[in-house]
A and B are shown apart, each in its own frame.
Chain A
Amino acid sequence: MSALAEFLHMGGYAAFVWGSYGICAAVLIANLLAVRARGRRVRAMLARRARFEAAGYAVGDEPAAGGGVDAVNHPGTGAVSEVGRR
């Protein structure tokens, strides 16, 4: 058996060893991607606001809380639920 094959074989425990390393890698990468996607959404939102402002629209002081990225993706829901809450 070549050295590489032996390494991959892990003394018969390949499924367990590589399985756990694989799952961990997947979880860590998924976390990283989620954080990056969030950052992109925020930057896109800010760029949109900057364009709006440049076009002469008033960018008001939207409710800072609860709105933001999530509200931008679902226009309208933020305002409705804000009213329905209390």
Chain B
Amino acid sequence: MTIARLFHQFGSPPHFYRLAGRMLPWFATACVACLAAGLYGGLVLAPPDYQQGESYRIIFIHVPSAWMSLFVYMVMAACGAIVLIWRMKLAEVVAQASAPIGASFTFMALVTGSLWGKPMWGTYWVWDARLTSELILLFLYLGVIGLQSAYEDRRTGARAAAVLALVGVVNIPIIHYSVEWWNTLHQGPTVTKLDKPSIHLSMLVPLLLMAVAFKLYYATLLLMRARSDLLERERNAAWVRDEVAAR
């Protein structure tokens, strides 16, 4: 019962709109602070790697991007499940806003991985298991985005994309392990990235800070997008008229 009430209250558009408006500056500030600290720690304080020299500093964006690419997909799929089961509008908004952001993080992970690979492997692209999985993940994201925008009716598009996201979630582990298995068979380059037994604290702290900063960035963008989408969807509701009049 209480969960249902919480859902209802959190999902109630005017309540969420105001709450999001209050939370937004905090999230944005925290994001910038973490980003600044992480960049300073990663680019300036952390010592160069004894094997890779300065080029390893790419991990401070590569690894958080790769984490985010999966995390955002999971959020999107969870929202997809909520959309299909409870038809909650807020979950539709979050799922729709997540797709381009997740695709961006996946793209970033791919580009930084390839730029990191050039000094390490001598070539921009190798069919490394992680890069290949990220590439397929990018295709999955593009499919979700394509489906969302293919329907003229936005809610139908959101529901169709939700089904696809859930199918993708069932597939992601299968794809991941099959790619990993395929990669070990074909014995790619033996430089395994970040499989070091332990990572030094001066590198770990900036890495985690950057990961938190990326999460906060995602949250900030979600709140911004959710606010404007709610205004648009509810444009005939009394509370939106009040909001517009109050400006």
Q: Which residues of A contact B (CB under 8 A)?
A: 7, 10-13, 16-17, 19-21, 23-24, 27-28, 30-32, 34-36, 38-39, 42-43, 45-47, 49-50, 59, 61, 64-66, 68-69, 78, 81-82, 85
Contact = CB atoms under 8 A, between A and B. Distances in A.
Given A11-B55, A13-B53, A66 B153 contact: yes
A70 to B, nearest CB: 9
Interface of B: 43-44, 48, 53-55, 57-58, 61-62, 65, 97, 100-101, 104, 107-108, 111-112, 115-116, 118-119, 151-156, 217, 221, 224-225, 227-229, 231-233, 235-236, 240-241, 244-245, 247
A14 to B, nearest CB: 8
Nearest to A85: B152
A36 B227 CA distance: 11
Top 10 nearest A-B pairs (CB, nearest first) are A11-B54, A39-B228, A13-B55, A66-B152, A20-B112, A10-B54, A65-B153, A20-B115, A42-B228, A11-B53
A24 B154 CA distance: 30
Contacts of A21: 58, 61
Nearest to B223: A35
Contact of B57 (A17, A50, A69): A17
B232 A42 contact: yes
A24 B115 contact: no
Contact of A38 (B48, B154, B225, B245): B225
